[in-house]
Amino acid sequence: METDLLVSLLARGVTPVDRHVVARRLGWALLAAALGATLLVVSFYGIRPDIGTVSATPIFWAKVALPVALAAGALAVTIRLARPGARVGLAWAGIGIPIAAVWLAGLIAVLLAPEGARVALVIGETWRSCPFNIAFLSIPGFVASFAAVRGLAPTNLRLAGAATGLLAGATATIAYCLHCPEMSAAFWALWYVLGMLVPTVAGALLGPKWLHW
């Protein structure tokens, strides 16, 4: 059989790939994650009563900036890992830099505080519940994001699962900022990061099974 004829037969009936399928699937997943986490915050925890006042302060937006930056970094990594053979490369910096920045800010805050106030900066008032609250709020995004990524073509399933879990956890943390009273970078550096680590580890463990295609 001639090569041109063989190629023609193999290509017959093939539909073109939608170039925007990754963005569309993950966009819907992010929307579900944000709405789901916000509804859970309102239903189970409530919005902090001084949200109008505190939202006018730079420290509040510094707190929100941490999960926003991590969500953006996790999204960039997830997009790459959702494609077979794609390299993550410098996209890892989108996760590493925000964590390093909040750790540095937390360390500086502790070092500059009076010795008797340092422990309070780290543990705050809600350290016992904060990581579990974030993990709980990440459930809608975890399910939606895994469903989105599974419909694509990930090959490194453990890393893809971890990035997807972090994406869900970071999105949940953004919503949690509407309730959380903690305003110390040292607190966020430990307890927020631990809270986001829970769905990240869960994603890494479940990725090989849930993302298999």
Confidence tier at 9 by pLDDT (50, 70, 90): low
Counting residues of the chain whose pLDDT is more than 90, the rounded percentage is 79
Rounded-to-integer distance, Cα 150 and Cα 33, Å: 16
Rounded-to-integer distance, Cα 211 and Cα 101, Å: 31
Confidence tier at 89 by pLDDT (50, 70, 90): confident
Confidence tier at 19 by pLDDT (50, 70, 90): low
Place of tokens 């399910």: 143
Mind listing the pLDDT tens digit for each residue in 101-150?
999 999 999 999 999 999 999 999 999 999 999 999 999 999 999 999 99
What the block records as the tokens of 133 is 């609250």
| CB contact set of 43 (below 8 Å; sequence gap of 6+) | none
Mind listing the pLDDT tens digit for each residue in 148-177?
999 888 989 999 999 999 999 999 999 999
Helix axes 21-40, 139-150, angle to 10 degrees: 170
In contact, 203 and 142? CB cutoff 8 Å:
yes
Confidence tier at 2 by pLDDT (50, 70, 90): low
Res 25 pLDDT > 80? yes
**Higher pLDDT pick, 16 / 77:** 77
In contact, 170 and 196? CB cutoff 8 Å:
yes
pLDDT of res. 63: 98
| Maximum Cα–Cα distance across the chain | 84
Counting residues of the chain whose pLDDT is more than 70, the rounded percentage is 91
By the 10 Å C-beta count (0-12 exposed, 13-18 middle, 19+ buried), 26 is classed as buried
Confidence tier at 11 by pLDDT (50, 70, 90): low
Res 10 pLDDT > 70? no
pLDDT of res. 5: 61
- What average pLDDT does range 202-206 have in this prediction? 97
Mean pLDDT rounded to a whole number for the chain: 91
pLDDT of res. 94: 95
- What average pLDDT does range 3-12 have in this prediction? 57
Rounded-to-integer distance, Cα 189 and Cα 164, Å: 21
